[in-house]
Amino acid sequence: MVKRAFDLTLASLTLLLLAPLLLGIALAVRLDSPGPVFYRQQRVGRAGRLFRIHKFRTMAHQPQGGGLQLTVGDDARITRVGHFLRHSKWDELAQLIDVWRGDMSIVGPRPEVPRYVAHYPAELRERVLSVKPGITDDCSLDFRDESDWLARSADPERTYIDEILPIKLALQARYVEHAGLRTDLRIVGRTAAILLGRLARRRSTSSPPAPPPNLHR
């Protein structure tokens, strides 16, 4: 009950304060390339329930879907506006809709597509899916340069499943163990600091991505 009240309050305030920005993003997406404003994709939510997540569209519209379900490096499918939205993470702001609908929380494990949830070990699957997925968490912040790491792999999907996914699941399980209002407030503050930092400086294209998180830190 407290978490739901927190989600609705923060989502409402954010939508109100950022309404001009959200409208501007929607207009930019529509003018930049043909297709809908929102990209919707099936994800796995609490207790394994499927839902369709919202994002501002950052890639060329593919009516039939398909293709790799990972974004690798400077993906040719990403639009001009999409590059900025991904760098700033503003594409994720559309998920405030999912918070309002009750499919997601502000803070929680990032929801995965069914294809990769199928690789979750049974014990971790039950634990990670015991809470609502979120817009942000420590795991998503640590892996904000994931596409750059995958771009260095000869087989990005295999690297994701074998190397990245196990670390993500361990971090997400850790969140579930320590979930609470204090933890959520800390993550919201960390998220805001990182987003503001990314906007304040444009990262050089020659700069290497940060190393993957260390679980033993």
Q: What pLDDT does residue 64 have?
A: 57
Task: Give the separation between CA 201 and CA 97, rounded to whole angstroms.
Answer: 29
Residue in 182, 178, 174 with CA at minimum distance from that of residue 214 = 174
Task: Give the separation between CA 135 and CA 68, rounded to whole angstroms.
Answer: 22
* 13 touches 100 (CB < 8 A): no
Q: What pLDDT does residue 183 have?
A: 96
User: In the structure encoding, which two tokens stand for residue 50, read together?
Assistant: 């499927």
Q: What pLDDT does residue 148 have?
A: 82
Task: Give the separation between CA 59 and CA 217, rounded to whole angstroms.
Answer: 35
Q: What is the pTM of this model?
A: 0.85
Q: What pLDDT does residue 1 have?
A: 80
Q: What pLDDT does residue 202 have?
A: 52
User: What does residue 197 show for φ and ψ, rounded to 5 degrees?
Assistant: -65, -40
Residue in 151, 73, 166, 78 with CA at minimum distance from that of residue 116 = 166
Q: Let me know how long the chain is.
A: 217
Q: Where are the domains of the chain?
A: 2-200
Q: What pLDDT does residue 63 have?
A: 64
Bridge partners (DSSP) of residue 43 are 51
Instruction: Kindly give the parts of the chain with pLDDT less than 50.
Output: 203-209, 215-217
Task: Give the separation between CA 13 and CA 96, rounded to whole angstroms.
Answer: 11
Tell me the helix, strand and coil percentages in the chain, rounded to 5: 55, 10, 35
- 105 alpha-carbon distance from chain centroid: 12
Q: What pLDDT does residue 212 have?
A: 55
Distance separating the N- and C-terminal Cα atoms of the chain: 32
